[in-house]
Amino acid sequence: MTYVVTENCIACKYTDCVEVCPVDCFYEGENTLVIHPDECIDCGVCEPECPADAIRPDTEPDMEKWVEFNRKYAELWPVIITKKDPLPEAEERDGEADKLTKYFSEAPGEGD
């Protein structure tokens, strides 16, 4: 099992999760985070830290696409280990539908 970041992180990018991760497996894009599924140790400490409820275990239904999404971008983006401010529109975008097609950017974030 692994944990993955799902669509609700896009355009929010809360980073509460990165500070509690014991293996530093979060990677930063311009407007979202991902977890490297091969580095995640399945401890689950990140899941309750996410204000947007965007971190899910891969054992839930239909998570295969998110595992591959997380793997792809974790290999392209820089690691992030320090909490940063969420995006300015995070509160209003939290829970919005179809964020992957509306807002997702492939650009890397700054990382640590």
Q: Mean pLDDT for each 10-residue chunk of the chain (112 residues)?
A: 96 97 97 98 97 97 97 98 96 96 97 89
Per-residue pLDDT at 90? 96
Beta bridge partners of 34: 27
Per-residue pLDDT at 74? 98
Prediction pTM value: 0.96
Domain residue ranges in the chain: 3-85
Distances from the Cα of 76 to the Cαs of 34, 53, 62, 73, 95, in angstroms?
10, 24, 23, 5, 26
CATH code linked to domain 3-85: 3.30.70.20
